[in-house]
A and B are shown apart, each in its own frame.
Chain A
């Protein structure tokens, strides 16, 4: 039996209906010479030869096992205990998809429930959903929640320039064609007071980051008060690892807390799959996209897990859905749950402290270099900005020769921050590596 549902007769009938003589004529607008180009592929190889070739290609990459990395900007190189991978690779878990009859998979639901509980404990918020794709899409979903909360009557979003530039781009992509005004992030250095002054009765939400993109630790209590006084919601984008050390954003009065969960036991992996954290207050739970797993008792009084809120975009009120996203990253959520369980409250705090102290050790040393300047003025966590004597790309090239992956070039996202490098330091960077970076920067500053 051929697994092709259409018979020749079906095809003829469909072609006749749209008035096209043959299937090929559908492609007539594609020039003939590019329609079936000669691909010029090499001769086929044996499996052994393919492996050797792919291995050689892979070895051309620079990786964090062989290079000292000071590149962060939203994705961080942390130690991952081996138990994380052991649990992930159990075949009971090794699928990212919730089964379509979810309650039959109690283990999967329990894992999600544990994840949600841990993320709530970390952020201090009431509810966490089962996760989104990544930090950027989680922020976009927070905007959707805010718009739905105001029932379309407020269409302005105030975004701090120190929210990750990529996240702001993703929000703009999500909001295309929705008649939403996004402002506040025109310049890199819009102070908090400038932003608060722009609140009005059209502001649906204010988005800030903690620690912010430049590493700053800011107390957003005043922002939350100002946003609430104007009737707007406050969304805080977090690095959850920093919350091992810092006050949770719930203490500021945040209405939505989202973030990138990669720092919790998920490898860098060239940018994904990552983990979108999404938490909010009880009062907004029905405006939240995605699924929410709950714990209950069955008819025999035994503990069981259920999809308490299933994605309404999938099952009920589809025409009223505010988000079309119900997919979560189950395996990545599990990784972070295992990581948090293994580290515990004290372990997480220790990692955060190590990051903090190593970053400050690095910043002190770099700040003493004659031609470099630390740009940050307030307290920072494990990332800071360095004003460099020459273009960041040139410096990074010199660092790479010494097997050091340098920091993020901020000039690409902030015109005012040309020649400014964002440096991240984690527990993975040894003192030798940091000292190596400092002397390599010193060398790179000479003409």
Chain B
């Protein structure tokens, strides 16, 4: 299980990568592992739209379950990953890379303060597996 050090994490298993005011988000390795084979991804947030922290930005369905993906922080959507609807399996293969879901401009960087770092998130995941 991977927990990249440069990311921040939510309790709902989303990750966020921040570069200045720009942010990228997706779901974690732990999340894709729990969901198993992803068969469908729909990014519901549209480019140009402002989405609040905790609002749904995507829907992920696997052979086992369906889950909503929530914004780890609020922001104005700059891009959505167009590759996911046709290649949902990317979420299983590259959860932190090719399977990014939304790119956005942070509304309020202070919102990041409530998120976990890699160590805290790893601990959080381990607690749930045991």
Interface residue ranges, A against B (CB under 8 Å): 151, 286, 312, 316-317, 320
Q: Give me 9 other A-B pairs in contact (C-beta within 8 A), A286-B61, A316-B61, A317-B59 excluded.
A: A151-B44, A286-B40, A286-B42, A312-B66, A316-B65, A316-B66, A317-B66, A320-B59, A320-B68
| Interface residues in B55-112 (C-beta closer than 8 Å to A) | 59, 61, 65-66, 68
Inter-chain CA distance A316–B68, complex, in Å, is 12
Residue of B at shortest CB range from A151?
A: B44
A-B CB contacts (within 8 Å), total count: 12
- What residues on A are CB-neighbors of B61 within 8 Å? 286, 316
List 12 A-B residue pairs with CB atoms under 8 Å apart, sorted by A's residue number. A151-B44, A286-B40, A286-B42, A286-B61, A312-B66, A316-B61, A316-B65, A316-B66, A317-B59, A317-B66, A320-B59, A320-B68
Instruction: Summarize A's interface: helix, strand, loop or mixed.
Output: loop
Dominant secondary structure at the B interface = strand
Where the two chains meet, the residues of B that have a C-beta atom closer than 8 Å to any C-beta of A are 40, 42, 44, 59, 61, 65-66, 68
Residue numbers in A under 8 Å from B65 (CB-CB): 316
Q: Distance (Å) between the CB of A432 and the closest chain B CB?
A: 58
Distance A286 CA – B66 CA, assembled complex (angstroms): 12
| Shortest Cβ distance from residue A352 to the other chain B in the assembled complex, whole angstroms | 38
Distance in angstroms between the alpha carbons of A151 and B61 in the assembled complex: 18
Distance from A317 Cβ to chain B, minimum over Cβ atoms (Å): 5
Q: Which residue from chain B places its CB closest to the CB of A285 in the assembled complex?
A: B40
Give complex CA distance A417, B65 in Å. 53
Chain A hits for B44, CB < 8 A: 151
- Residues in A with CB closer than 8 Å to B66 are 312, 316-317
Distance between A442 CB and nearest chain B CB, rounded to angstroms: 62
* Min CB–CB distance A153 → chain B (angstroms): 8
| List of B residues within 8 angstroms of A317 by Cβ | 59, 66
Closest A residue by C-beta to B85 = A283
Q: Report chain A residues within 8 Å CB of B40.
A: 286
| Bound: A320/B44 CA distance, A | 13
Q: Which residues of B contact A286 (CB under 8 A)?
A: 40, 42, 61
> What 4 A-B pairs are tightest by C-beta distance, nearest first?
A316-B66, A317-B66, A151-B44, A286-B40
* Whole-angstrom CA separation of A151 from B59 in the bound complex: 13
Q: How far is the CA of A296 from the CA of B21 in the complex (A)?
A: 48
What distance in Å separates the Cβ of A197 from its nearest Cβ neighbour in chain B? 27
Question: In the assembled complex, how far is the CB of residue A330 from the closest CB belonging to chain B, in whole angstroms?
Answer: 25
Contacts of A316 in B (CB 8 A): 61, 65-66
Compute how far the CA of A242 lies from the CA of B68 in the bound complex, rounded to whole angstroms.
Answer: 43
* Smallest CB gap from B49: residue in A: A153
A266–B66 CA distance with the chains assembled, in angstroms: 38
**Which residues of chain B have C-beta atoms less than 8 A from A312's C-beta?**
66
Q: Which residue of A lies closest to B45 (CB)?
A: A151
Closest-by-CB residue of B relative to A283 is B85
From B44, B59, B65, B66, residue with most partner A Cβ within 10 Å: B66
What separation, in Å, do the CA atoms of A316 and B67 have in the docked complex?
A: 9
Q: Closest A residue to B44 by CB, please name it.
A: A151
A151 to chain B, nearest CB (A): 6
A320-B42 Cα distance, complex, nearest whole Å: 14
